[in-house]
């Protein structure tokens, strides 16, 4: 077999594996949108079976025999083929480091831990979850050792979600972010707070839905290659670049929560609709990391959806969507309301100013648990103390504290930092967008998003995994990971909003 034939064969095998992955994603999507409750048990089985089949197909002898010689011939391959072999070899090397027995044990422990967590959170009963978490921490250490790492053990786990990132880099960036954002939040909370009684109304669900759908179409989300549905927790998923779906949840007492989640998930979905057609059914039609994926959702949700020019354009539509409810409002009133800062207990409800602080807390605690500096049993106390230090709030119970997130029960250690990295990347990209697109805000206030989407398509989306995240950020902005643009963005937006100098 020559290298052309090998590539051809590899593409066929990867295409099959990708199809199995798409079927799995569709099962997950259905599980969270339409599946009747009694379907849960069977669905769990179907997902486990397909996951095992996908894993087996990927770590097969055939894949190994195809990539081994191709690695030796990289310089003879076309650019696209070389990137494909590199991405596949990277995934393969990591996948074979975890023995099937270990993967099964982890999955078993994980599913028990998840069930225990659901009950523990409902009853705010940390001791009931603690032994499961302890087992998971031990398995995470084992996993890191199997995968291998340089320096800190945490690096092995971080690599799973943010390739090439190290704990040292994250810690040094977070130190600055924590201090600066902590200061900003403190002065905002001491300033005069906005009075917004008009927000206390009932916002009919259907009207919210229709308004969100209009915005989705306006910003360039292709509704013939995607759809939006209801689910308890909003998410986005793709089965193919021509079928990228999102979900949202609507609260009738909150005018903006569904809309902002729609914009957030649309940011993820626009990314996936923008992968190259020629990369479909290969590992190249994926984001190189969660941080860069999150940068896209944050950019649309925060930089665009929470901006004044956006609301200068959409105010008449918003008023028409809720007849008689918003007649005396100005775009500035909406801008004020949608950018309220509050010290809160729950990460997923946090605003732009406090969000990263919630992430920093989790990053520090999971590191400490992994290294053994923090005993799992002592987690609630450590959590509550850090909430006091970083956010200045008292945690009333563990359900509103260390039991609030699903991540640890799902064995996702090293995941949290990617949320904050996404914020930082979004501001780095956005700073460059403002420099490179003439009269950017003029086009947004006219409801024209084509230039923005074109820029993102060109600099981020179409690249897929042909570059790593640091390479994408460096190529697009000329800089490495940097907290400066995000802190500048926050200060220049929120200080005027709260009358601070
Ligand atoms: Zn997201």
> How many whole angstroms from 160 Cα to the centroid of ligand 1?
17
Percent of the chain with pLDDT over 70: 100
Kindly report which listed range (114-118, 200-204, 386-390) carries the lowest average pLDDT score.
Answer: 114-118
Task: Judge whether residue 501 has pLDDT over 90.
Answer: no
Mean pLDDT of the 260-288 span: 97
Residue 256 has pLDDT above 90, yes or no: yes
Q: For residue 265, indicate whether it is catalytic.
A: yes
264 CA distance to ligand 1 middle (Å): 6
pLDDT of residue 302 exceeding 90, the answer is yes
Rounded CA separation 450/346 (Å) = 35
**Which residues make beta-bridge pairs with 236?**
246
Instruction: Give the confidence band of 37 by pLDDT, cuts at 50, 70, 90.
Output: confident
User: What six digits make up the tokens of 329?
Assistant: 């409002």
3-state secondary structure at position 136? helix
Using one digit for the tens of pLDDT, what is the confidence trace for 58-110? 999 999 999 999 999 999 999 999 999 999 999 999 999 998 889 888 888 98
| Mean pLDDT on 17-30 | 95
Residue 232 — pLDDT band, cuts 50, 70, 90?
Answer: confident
Residue among 86, 162, 180, 265 flagged as catalytic: 265
**Mean pLDDT across the chain:** 96
How far is it, in rounded angstroms, from Cα 406 to Cα 409? 6
For residue 149, pLDDT beyond 90:
yes
Q: CA angle at residue 211 from 207 to 216, to 5 degrees?
A: 145
**What pLDDT is attached to residue 428?**
98
| CB 231 within 8 Å of CB 32 | yes
Banded model confidence at residue 10, pLDDT cuts 50, 70, 90: very high
By the 10 Å C-beta count (0-12 exposed, 13-18 middle, 19+ buried), 492 is classed as exposed
pLDDT for 165: 96
40: pLDDT strictly greater than 90: no
Q: Residue 295 burial (CB < 10 Å; 0-12/13-18/19+)?
A: buried
Distance 425 CA to ligand 1 centre (A): 13
pLDDT, position 105: 87
State the pTM of this model: 0.96
What's the gap in Å between 231 CA and the centre of ligand 1? 15
Residue 101: the pLDDT is 87
Q: So what's the pLDDT on residue 104?
A: 83
Q: Is the pLDDT of residue 292 over 90?
A: yes
Q: Is 177's pLDDT higher than 90?
A: yes
Map tokens 């650019």 to a residue.
Answer: 79
Of 289, 372, 330, which Cα lies nearest the Cα of 90? Answer: 289
- The CA distance from 244 to 248, in Å, is 14
How far away, in angstroms, is 203 Cα from ligand 1 center? 25
- Percent of the chain past pLDDT 90, that is, above it, reads 92
State in Å: Cα 130 to ligand 1 middle.
28
pLDDT band at 128 (very low <50, low <70, confident <90, very high): very high
How far does the centroid of ligand 1 lie from the alpha carbon of residue 373, in Å? 30
**What DSSP designation does 162 have?**
B
Q: What pLDDT score does 38 carry?
A: 92
At 114, is the pLDDT very low, low, confident or very high (cuts 50, 70, 90)? confident
Q: Name which residue leads in pLDDT, 37 or 83.
A: 83
DSSP symbol at 325: T
Mean pLDDT of 256-279: 97
Instruction: State residue 108's pLDDT score.
Output: 84
For residue range 353-366, what is the model confidence (pLDDT) as tens digits?
999 999 999 999 99
Across residues 9-21, what is the average pLDDT? Answer: 97
Instruction: Tell me how many degrees the CA angle 101-107-109 measures, rounded to the nearest 5.
Output: 100
Tell me the pLDDT tens digit for each residue of 390-439: 999 999 999 999 999 999 998 899 999 999 999 999 999 999 999 999 99
Position 44 pLDDT exceeds 90: no
Q: What are phi and psi of 340, to 5 degrees?
A: -75, 140
């Amino acid at each position: 077999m020559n290298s052309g034939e090998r590539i051809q064969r590899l593409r066929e095998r990867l295409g099959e594996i990708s199809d199995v992955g798409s079927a799995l994603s569709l099962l997950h999507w259905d599980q969270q949108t339409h599946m009747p409750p009694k379907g849960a048990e069977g669905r769990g089985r179907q997902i486990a079976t397909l996951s095992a089949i996908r894993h087996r197909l990927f770590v097969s002898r055939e894949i190994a025999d195809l990539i081994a010689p191709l690695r030796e011939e990289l310089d003879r391959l076309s650019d696209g083929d070389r990137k494909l072999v590199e991405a596949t070899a990277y995934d393969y090397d990591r996948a074979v480091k975890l023995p099937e027995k270990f993967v099964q044990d982890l999955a078993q422990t994980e599913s028990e831990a998840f069930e225990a967590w659901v009950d523990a959170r409902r009853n705010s009963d940390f001791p009931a979850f603690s032994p499961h978490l302890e087992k998971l921490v031990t398995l995470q250490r084992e996993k890191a050792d199997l995968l291998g790492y340089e320096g800190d053990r945490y690096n092995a786990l971080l690599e799973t979600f943010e390739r090439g990132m190290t704990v040292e880099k994250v810690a040094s960036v977070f130190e600055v972010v924590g201090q600066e954002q902590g200061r900003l939040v403190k002065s905002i909370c001491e300033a005069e707070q906005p009075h917004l009684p008009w927000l206390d109304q009932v916002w009919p669900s259907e009207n919210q839905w229709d308004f969100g759908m209009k915005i989705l179409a306006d910003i360039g989300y292709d509704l013939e290659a995607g759809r939006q549905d209801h689910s308890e927790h909003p998410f986005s998923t793709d089965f193919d670049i021509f079928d990228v779906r999102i979900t949202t949840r609507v609260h009738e007492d909150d005018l903006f929560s569904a809309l902002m989640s729609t914009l957030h998930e649309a940011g993820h979905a626009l990314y996936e609709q923008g992968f190259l057609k020629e990369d479909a059914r290969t590992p190249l039609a994926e984001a190189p990391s969660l941080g860069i994926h999150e940068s896209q959702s944050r950019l649309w949700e925060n930089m665009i959806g929470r901006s004044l020019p956006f609301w200068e354009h959409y105010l008449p539509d918003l008023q028409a969507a809720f007849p008689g409810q918003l007649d005396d409002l100005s775009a500035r009133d909406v801008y004020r309301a949608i950018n309220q800062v509050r010290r809160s207990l729950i990460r997923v409800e946090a605003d732009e100013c406090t969000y990263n602080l919630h992430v920093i807390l989790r990053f520090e605690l999971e590191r400490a648990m992994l290294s053994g500096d923090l005993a799992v049993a002592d987690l609630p106390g450590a959590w509550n103390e850090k909430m006091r230090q970083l956010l200045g709030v008292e945690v009333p119970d563990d359900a509103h504290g260390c039991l609030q997130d699903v991540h640890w029960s799902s064995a996702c250690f090293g995941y949290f930092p990617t949320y904050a990295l996404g914020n930082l990347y979004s501001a780095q990209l956005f700073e460059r967008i403002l420099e490179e697109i003439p009269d950017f805000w003029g086009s947004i206030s006219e409801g024209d998003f084509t230039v923005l989407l074109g820029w993102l398509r060109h600099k981020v989306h179409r690249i897929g995994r042909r570059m790593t995240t640091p390479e994408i950020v460096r190529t697009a902005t000329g800089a490495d990971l940097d907290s400066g643009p995000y802190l500048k963005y926050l200060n220049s937006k929120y200080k005027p909003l709260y009358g601070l100098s």
